Chains A and B, each alone.
Chain A
Amino acid sequence: MLPESISNKLPESAKVQIIACVSMQETGQRTLFTFPASIQKQAVIVDAKTLTPSTREITLLTIPAVNFDDPDLLNEVRNWIEEASSWTEPASLMLTLQGVQLLWSPSRIALFAEPDRLETVQKSVLEVTYYIAELQCIEQELGELWPQLEGDTPLAFEFTQRDLYKHKQLMSRYQVVATLRARLARITPYLLSPHVYPPTLASQVGERLRERTRVDLREEFLSDQLEVFENVYELCGQRSSDFLHTRSGNILEWTIIILLMVQIVFSAFELLTSFGATNALSVG
C-alpha cells in the first residue's frame, strides 16, 4: 500500500488507513466520522482485503509531526499521492497551516499534524474530501451524458411515431439527471457552507481545502449544466407524453372511422352487387 521507501523513513507512530464512506457500518468497522443526517454516511476504516472495485475509498496517511521538513520524503509522499490521483492538473494539492501539512488528492491524503490535533483535522479533511469526491463524481457522470443529450435534443422540439421506442430511454435518462441533481443538492450546503466562527484549526483546514479545490465555482457550473439537462429532458418528457396522449385519442377516433368505413363498404358493395344484378338482367 505504502512503498517501503516511504514507510522506512516515517516515524513509527505514522499510520496508513483505508477509509470508506458507507451507508451501513459493518460489524468490526471503526467509525472515524459520522456525516450530517442528510448525507446518511459514515467514514469507517476498512480492511484492504474486503475492498471491491466499486468501493470509493480514501487512503489516509497520518504522521504525528510538526513542520515536517524532509524535502525528499515530502516529494516521495507527493508522488505516492499523485499516483492514484484522478486529477490531471494539478494532480495533488499541498496545504500548510499552523503546523499542519496536508498533501491531498481525492483518493490519497497525507496529513502531518501535532498528535493532539491530528484527530480533529483528520475528521475535517475526511468530510471535505468526501464532498469534493462526490462533486467530482457528479461532474464525471454528467460529462459522460453530453453526447446522449445532443442526440436527444431534437426530441425536445418534436416527438414522432419513429421516436416512440425512445420513450422509456428518455424516462430513464431523466431519472439519471434527477438523481444527479439530488446528489448535488445533498452536498451543496456542506460545499458552500459559510466559514465557521470562531474558527478552529480543523475548520480552517477544511475551508482552505474547499477554497483550493474551487468548489463554489464548480458547484455553480455543475448546477448550470444540470439545468440544461433538466430543461431538455423535461421538454422531451412533455413532448413524448403529449404524443402518447394524442395517439391514444387518435386510435379511438380511427377505430370509429374504420367501423364507419366497414359500414360504408357493406352499403357500397350492396349497391355494387345490385348494379351487377341489374346489368345481368338487362343483358339477359
Chain B
Amino acid sequence: MRYPSVDILRSIAIVVMVLVHFAENLSGVALPFSGLGAPLFAILSGISYRLWVNGQERREVSDELISKVSIRRGLFVFAVGFAFNIFVWLPEDMFNWDVLTFIGFAILILNQVRHLPVTLVILIASLVFLMTPFLQAMADYPSYWTNHYFEVDLTLPDVIIGFLVTGYFPIFPWLTYSLVGYSTAVLLFPHHLSSPEEDRPPSIFPLLGIGATLLIVANITLQLRSYLPELISKNLLVGWTMFPASLEYITATIAMALLLLGLLHHFIDRNPALNKESRLFHLFKVFSRNAFTIYLLHHMVHLWPLWIYGYSTGNETTFYWRNAMSMNYSMPLAVLFLVLCYLILSRIDPDKRYGVEGWMRWLCD
C-alpha cells in the first residue's frame, strides 16, 4: 500500500539532498537545511522496509522468501554503494561509507529485527544511540576528519572502524534512524489494517507526543550545553554536528521526522476528501518511486563534469570540488536537474527496468 505521506517525506529528503549536494560540492556552501535530508532518508529506509514487509505478508509470501529477498536487496544496495563510491567519489574513497552502504547494511539488520517484538527494536535503537558517543571517543573520531572530510588508511581495523563509527554514515549512530523508522511503521501502519472490520487505525498522538518531547529534549540539551561540565559538553553533548552525528542532532532529526510523518499521515493519508491522484501527489510519487535513481544520478551529473574538467585542465581531478561556481549557478542547476528528473521519470513506466529500483526488483525479487 502506498502512503502519500511517505512519498512526500521521501521527496523532501531527495530534494533537500540534491540542493545541499549541489551547493556544497559545486560552491562549497552549506545550506541552512543541510544535514536534514540524510536522517529523513535513513528513517524512511526503516519505514519503507516495514511497509514492504507488510505488503509481502498480506500477499502471504513465506517468511523464508521475505528473508531471501531482503538479504538480496540489502546486498544489492550495499554493492551499489561501493560501486557509487568507486565511480562517483573515485577509488580512493571506496571505503568512505556513504549512505548507500549504510542503507544496504541496515536492510540486512532490519531483516533480522523484524522477527523481534517492537519493544526490543526500540531498545536496540536506544542502545545504538547511547553507545555512539562512547564509541566515537574510543575511536578518536576527530583524527579521521582532519580536513573536514573523512580520510581513512586502507588498513582493516581503520576500514572497520570507519564502517562502524567514523565514516560518513557509520552504523553507530545511523542505525538508530532505520530502527526508529521501522518501529514507527510497525506501530503506525500495522499490516492487518485492511482486513479486520473492527480495527481502527492507530492514533497518531503518541507519535506526535514522542516527536514533540524529543524536540524539546534536543533543544534543552543544546541550550544547556554551555552550562554543563566539560566532560559532558566535549564528549557526550557536543552540539549540533552531523559529522560526528551528535546526540542532539540525532534527537532533533528523529523528532522532526516523527512530527512530519505524524502530521502528514493524519492530514493527508487519513483524509478521504483529498484527491490523491492530483498532479501534486503524482509529482511526489515520481520523486519517491525513483529516489534511489535520483540519488545516484544527481551525484553523477554534478560530480563527473567536475572531475573531468579538473583532469582536463591538468589539475587534480578534485581541484574544482567545492569551488567550481557560485551559488547563483549551482542552485539553478540543482533546480533544473530536479525539473528534468521529473519530466523524464514521470514519462517512464515504473514497471520497466530503467531505474536502479527496477534493476533491484529484477535481480532481487
Indicate whether A145 reaches chain B with its CB closer than 8 angstroms: no
Given A166-B196, A169-B198, A255-B120: A272 and B160 interface contact (C-beta under 8 Å):
yes
Q: Is A165 an interface residue (CB 8 A)?
A: yes
Contact of A162 among B158, B160, B191, B198 (CB under 8 A): B191
Tell me whether A254 and B157 are in contact (CB under 8 A): no
Assess whether A258 is in contact with B124, with CB atoms less than 8 Å apart. yes
A269-B164 Cα distance, complex, nearest whole Å? 9
Contacts of B190 in A (CB 8 A): 165
| A24 adjacent to chain B (CB < 8 Å) | no
With A165-B196, A258-B123 as contacts: A280 and B115 at CB distance below 8 Å? no
Known: A165-B190, A166-B196, A169-B198. A273 touches B117 (CB 8 A): no
The answer on a CB contact under 8 Å between B116 and A270 is no
Q: Which residues of B contact A166 (CB under 8 A)?
A: 192, 196
Interface status of A143 (Cβ within 8 A of chain B) = no
Q: Contacts A162-B191, A251-B117, A283-B153 given; indicate if A269 touches B139 (C-beta within 8 A).
A: yes
Contacting residue for A251 out of B57, B119, B164, CB 8 A? B119
A162-B191, A169-B196, A247-B117 given as contacts; is B153 within 8 A of A275 (CB)?
no
Smallest CB separation, B146 vs chain A (Å): 13
Measured between C-beta atoms, what is the minimum distance from A166 to chain B in Å?
7
Q: Name the segment of B72-80, B130-138, B257-265, B296-304 touching the other chain.
A: B130-138
Asked whether A161 is an interface residue with its Cβ less than 8 Å from the other chain, the reply is yes
Interface assignment of A265: CB less than 8 Å from any CB of chain B: yes
Q: Which of chain B's residues have a CB closer than 8 A to the CB of A276?
A: 139, 155, 157-158, 161
Residues 210-242 of chain A, each 1 if its beta carbon lies under 8 Å from chain B, else 0:
000000000000000000000000000000000
By a CB distance below 8 angstroms, the chain A residues around B156 are 275
CA distance A262 to B125 in the complex (A): 12
Number of B residues, CB within 8 Å of A: 30
Judging by beta carbons under 8 Å apart, are A266 and B131 in contact? Answer: yes
| Residue B336 lies at the interface, judged by CB distance under 8 Å to chain A | no
Decide: A273 and B120 in contact? CB cutoff 8 A.
no
- Contact partner of B157 (CB less than 8 A), chosen from A258, A266, A273, is A273
Q: How many residues of A contact B (CB 8 A)?
A: 24
Closest B residue, CB atoms, query A275:
B157
A54 an interface residue at 8 Å Cβ cutoff? no
- Chain A neighbourhood of B153, CB < 8 A: 279-280, 283
Tell me the chain B residues, 183-200 only, with Cβ under 8 Å from chain A: 190-192, 196, 198-199
B127 interface residue per 8 A CB criterion? yes
Shortest C-beta distance, B125 to chain A (Å), equals: 11
The answer for the CA separation of A109 and B156 in the assembled complex, in Å, is 93
Pairwise interchain contact B127-A162, C-beta atoms closer than 8 A: no
Q: Which residue of B lies closest to A160 (CB)?
A: B63
List chain A residues, Cβ under 8 A from B120: 251, 254-255, 258
With A247-B117, A254-B116: A273-B131 Cβ-Cβ less than 8 Å:
no
A280–B161 alpha-carbon span in the complex (Å): 14
Q: How far is the CA of A45 from the CA of B286 in the complex (A)?
A: 69
* Residue in contact with A279 in the complex, picked from B131, B139, B155, CB distance below 8 Å: B155
- Complex Cα–Cα for A265 and B139 (A): 13
CB distance from B64 to the nearest CB of A (A): 14
Contacts of A272 in B (CB 8 A): 157, 160-161, 164
Chain A residue contacts of B139, Cβ below 8 A: 269, 273, 276
Closest to B140 in A: A273
Residue of B nearest to A254 (CB): B120
Bound form: Cα–Cα A273–B136 in Å:
11
Q: How far is the CA of A269 from the CA of B140 in the complex (A)?
A: 12
Contacts of A279 in B (CB 8 A): 153, 155, 157-158
Contact between A270 and B115 (Cβ–Cβ < 8 Å)?
Answer: no
Q: Which positions 78-108 of chain B face chain A at CB distance < 8 Å?
A: none
- B60 and chain A: residue at smallest CB distance: A162
CB contacts (< 8 Å) of A262 on chain B: these are: 127, 131
Chain A residue nearest to B127 in the complex (CB): A262
A251: B residues at CB distance < 8 A = 117, 119-120
Q: Which residues of B contact A161 (CB under 8 A)?
A: 115, 117
Q: How far, in angstroms, from A169 to B200 measured CA to CA in the complex?
A: 13
Q: Please, how many angstroms separate the alpha-carbon atoms of A279 and B159 in the complex?
A: 12
* Pair B157/A270 contact, Cβ less than 8 Å: no
Q: CA of A139 to CA of B347 in the docked complex: distance in angstroms?
A: 59
Contact residues of A between 162 and 214, Cβ < 8 Å to B: 162, 165-166, 169
Q: A270 to B127: give the CA distance in the assembly, Å.
A: 17
Q: What's the nearest-Cβ distance from chain B to residue A281, in Å?
A: 12
Inter-subunit contact B196/A162 (CB<8 Å): no
State whether B161 touches A165 (Cβ < 8 A): no
- Report which of B57, B123, B131, B192 forms a contact with A265, defined as CB distance below 8 A: B131
For A283, give the chain B residue with the smallest CB separation.
B153
Interface residues of A in 253-271 (CB under 8 A from B): 254-255, 258-259, 262, 265-266, 269-270
Cβ B123 vs Cβ A255 within 8 A:
yes
Which residue of chain A has the shortest Cβ distance to B171 in the bound complex? A265
Closest 10 CB pairs of A and B: A276-B157, A275-B157, A165-B192, A279-B155, A254-B120, A272-B157, A273-B138, A276-B158, A262-B127, A273-B139
13 contacts between A and B (CB under 8 A): A162-B57, A162-B191, A165-B192, A251-B117, A254-B120, A255-B120, A258-B120, A258-B123, A269-B135, A273-B140, A273-B161, A276-B155, A283-B153
Known contacts A269-B139, A270-B138, A279-B158; can you find 13 more A-B pairs with CB under 8 A? A165-B199, A169-B196, A247-B117, A250-B117, A262-B127, A262-B131, A266-B134, A269-B161, A269-B165, A272-B157, A273-B161, A279-B155, A280-B153
